[in-house]
Amino acid sequence: MKSKAQVIKDNSDKKTIINAVIRSLGSVDSVQDVNSHGMEAGFSGFTYYSDTHAFAMRHRKAIVSMLEESADMLGEDVVAMVASFGVFRRNPMDNNDRKELYRFIGGGKCDQSTITNLMAWFAAEEVCRMFED
């Protein structure tokens, strides 16, 4: 596993979101567990919708950038990529979720919802993946 300093050095444009995720998790010690089990396993700072909503809104610009980067690497549209995330495989994305995702991506007012929770979890999982060798 890479050190936090190495991850920040390799991803200097994402320094703020890296620090925010680690701060919310409590320490770098949770990174391996996130990588092994995913955010659905439940981690400090990312358990309650009130926490994940605040995190997603505070770091929206960085999260949208990460979404676009990931979708581009996969050759997918952002909305289609998000619709394929685990939570939507079990219960497909409905029109309200889609509207909320468009508001999140576009910078509009967002409600505390599955989308903002998912965006916070996405950011945490992406940051934790950066620590893998």
Lowest-confidence pick of 44-53, 80-89, 112-121: 80-89
Query: What's the confidence (pLDDT) of residue 86?
Result: 84
The fraction of the chain above a pLDDT of 90, given in percent, is 89
- Domains of the chain, by residue range, sit at 4-129
CA distance 32 to 40: 14
Q: Can you read off the two tokens belonging to residue 99?
A: 């509207």
User: How many angstroms separate the CA atoms of 123 and 50, rounded?
Assistant: 16
Report pLDDT for 41: 86
* pTM (two decimals): 0.93
